Structure 1
Amino acid sequence: MSVELNHTIVATRDKQAGARFLADVLGLPQPQPFGPFAVVTTANGVSLDYMETEEVVAQHYAFLISEEEFDAVAGRLRERGVETWADPGHRRPGHNTDDGGRGLYFDSPEGHNLEVLTRPYGSGA
């Protein structure tokens, strides 16, 4: 049997707002309810299940996207006035060109450190 990530739980104070933000920015289908969750599903079938909690500890979530999707995501973030960063520590504004692709980091409304990248780490020349 091969092992694949199926889902992960994302802590948030407002599951609808957090899940909608991610779906809207990434251009994914709108969140679907499932039990106590607002579920955002990616193209490879992995879901991020937003669950409300009092305490949110910031986590990092990275999404592999195409070059065209990168431009669209960057545009949607710009339209929303969301700052983007070239590094996970948010020290360099903008985006990076690591591994021959592009990547950027941005914060979700609940403070998670989100990343989009067009090439997996270590895949460049």
Structure 2
Amino acid sequence: MTARFNHTIIAAKDTAEMAQFYRELLEANDLPAWGPFLNLSIGEGVMLQFAAPPMEFSPNHFAYLLDDAHFDCALATIRNRGYERWADPQRTRPGEINNEHDGRGVYLLDPAGHYLELITQPYL
């Protein structure tokens, strides 16, 4: 069997706020919640599980591949909500997007402080 990515747990002190953010930005769908997990589904059956960690956590980086129409909608949401955004992971180009890898990309932080990258073309 070829390995495929199935799910990840994303640490968040406010799981409801995080779920709402991801629903709006990634057009994620609700899944049944259980235990400490508030669950959403994105493309190809990947599950995002939000849970409050028992300790402090370091921010992670999550990159999401979007088609052009979804990127346009996500970018409009980012702008309308006034979220800070950058064209680069070093955050030296605020308010911009990039046109790298024959596509478009943008970086932002989610409500828990995790780094998000939205791209329209994979790197490889």
Fold agreement, TM-score > 0.5: yes
- For 1:102, the equivalent position in structure 2 comes to 104
Deviates more, 1:88-97 or 1:64-73: 88-97
Which runs of 5 or more residues in structure 2 are unaligned? none
Q: Could you tell me which amino acid in structure 2 is paired with residue 69 of structure 1? A: H
Structure 1 residues 58-111: Cα deviation after superposition (integer angstroms, max 9, x where no partner): 000010000111110000011110011111121112110011100000000110
Q: What is the alpha-carbon distance in structure 2 between the residues aligned to residue 71 and residue 83 of structure 1?
A: 16
Corresponding residue for residue 27 of structure 1: 27
Q: RMSD of the alignment, in Å? A: 1.3
Inter-partner Cα distance in structure 2 for 1:23 and 1:34: 18
3-state secondary structure, aligned to 2:101: helix
- Deviations along 1:27-77, one digit per CA (max 9) or x if unpaired, are 222464132111121111111110102413100001000011111000001
Aligned residues: 122
Report the alpha carbon displacement of residue 6 of structure 1 after superposing the two structures with TM: 0.6
Alignment check: 8 A CA contact 1:19 1:31 kept: no
Letter of the 1:52 partner, please give it.
A
- Give percent identity, aligned residues only: 37
CA distance in 1, matches of 2:80, 2:31: 21
1:85–1:91 contact (8 Å) kept in structure 2: yes
Q: Give the equivalent residue in structure 2 for 1:111.
A: 113
Is the partner of 1:56 in helix, strand or coil? coil
